[in-house]
Amino acid sequence: MKKKELKYISLRDFTTTSGYFYPKFELSYQLFGQDLNTAPVILVNHALTGNSNVAGEKGWWNEIIGLGKVIDTGNYTVIAFNIPGNGYDENNDNFIENYEDFTARDIAKLFGLGIQKLGINSLFAAIGGSLGGGIAWEMAVLFPNLIENLIPVASDWKASDWILAHNKTQLQILSNSSKPVHDARMMAMLFYRTADSFKQKFNRSKNKEQGNFNTESWLLHHGQKLENRFTLSTYKMMNHLLSSVDITRNRGSFNEIANQLKCNIIQVGVDSDFFFVPAENKETQKLLNKAGIENSYHEIKSIHGHDAFLIEYDQLTDILHPIFQQPKTKSLKNKKIRIVKFGGKSLANGEGLNKVLEIIYDKKQMMIKLLWLFPLEGIRQIYWSKFWTKLKAMKIMKGYLNRLRTIKLYRMAILIFQMNMIL
């Protein structure tokens, strides 16, 4: 899958929680998979140094998002926004210097407003790693009816004391170093991996060209790499946003806030995470259980620490598979869509197909939303062609016929549409 072009949404009259007013605010985003309004939608929130390019050849999560992957772009529409100011759109006008006026909650609100402006009424899932997971938590509170499945990965609903301490140290480096982004990134990488991960990767080997240890050259490389694509204000803002994650701030206790949540929460932690430590996730699970919120906790086993959510793809796939293998079940139920299945006999000849057309037309007139199932066996090609031609002539699809999808599933073709709008 090729990288998708950036798209843009303009929002008007946006005010941050600190009171800073924007008469106009531009969001950039990318879409992958199915067209909007033809399939369930999944929102993917990127982490601190990530971007909206989540799938495709250079997508940073292309091991789990794509055709045939656990988040199958053949079944879903995937949308990913850029956190404003991350610089991925290469538009200098969109850089944010007054980063302290923003919080993770502001970003969550912007994403939610962007979703609404695109005409998306519900998200089958909102998933994000690290900072992206924290923003997804904030969205679940701000827009309680939007998300069906909330999936924070290596993340939590608040910045812990440990993360706050880390980010304060980052700020000191960013404010005082002669190579602020470079040096801060080097220090942060120690929190994203573990001692065992370093030993397995380097084992005290040396870089003969540079004359130093490979562990040192690796850290220098990552410092230089981020310095090449991040401005100082961008890095400061991302760290600040991470520190601001807290769904309870100025709202009340966690139990009070949790009672507003309407989504199923699937936490994914990492047993060796030195950043969002798993003990915090397990404590969150206890709080959710106490509040009576549908939730589960899963754990990646790895020596690689926080970055395991970008490394242990097989484990992550196994954890996510039960969630994404049946994308439409809950959505269909919520939308009160009826399922109609036609047997082979009713479709075996021209008379049967004409009867089917009458039924479809009647339901269309009644504005009933339906999922139609047509078996592949027993339908001669000549009759199927005639049926398709007549369906077109009836103009049932109101111009959306080209968006129909036929999916082979257990020797059955599933033709999905609604009588008044496309799913």
Active-site residues, by number, are 130, 273, 306
At 168, list the tokens: 């304060």
**For residue 157, with 0-12 CB atoms within 10 Å meaning exposed, 13-18 middle and 19 or more buried, which class applies?**
buried
Enumerate residues 6+ apart whose C-beta is below 8 A from 303: 194, 196, 197, 200, 272
Is residue 245 within 8 A of residue 104, CB to CB? The reply is yes
Helix axis angle, 232-243 to 180-192, nearest 10°: 40
At 257, list the tokens: 């806030």
- Residue in the structure block whose two tokens are 């701000």: 142
Most distant pair of Cα atoms in the chain: their distance: 82
Q: Please, where are the H alpha helices in 177-277?
A: 180-192, 195-202, 214-229, 232-243, 254-258
- Residue in the structure block whose two tokens are 């998933």: 127
- The SS3 assignment for 373 reads strand
Q: Are strands 41-45 and 123-129 parallel, antiparallel or unpaired?
A: parallel
3-class SS letters over 63-119: CCEECCCCEECCCCEEEEECCCCCCCCCCHHHCCCCHHHCCHHHHHHHHHHHHHHCC
Q: What's the Cα-to-Cα distance from 331 to each of 62, 146, 369, rounded to whole Å? A: 25, 12, 12
Nearest to 264 by CA among 288, 299, 298: 288
The whole-angstrom separation of Cα 308 and Cα 154 is 9
**For residue 413, with 0-12 CB atoms within 10 Å meaning exposed, 13-18 middle and 19 or more buried, which class applies?**
middle
Nearest to 292 by CA among 326, 320, 255, 267: 255
Is residue 76 within 8 A of residue 113, CB to CB? The reply is no
The whole-angstrom separation of Cα 311 and Cα 64 is 11
> DSSP for 391-416?
HHHTTTTTT-GGG--EEEETTEEEEE
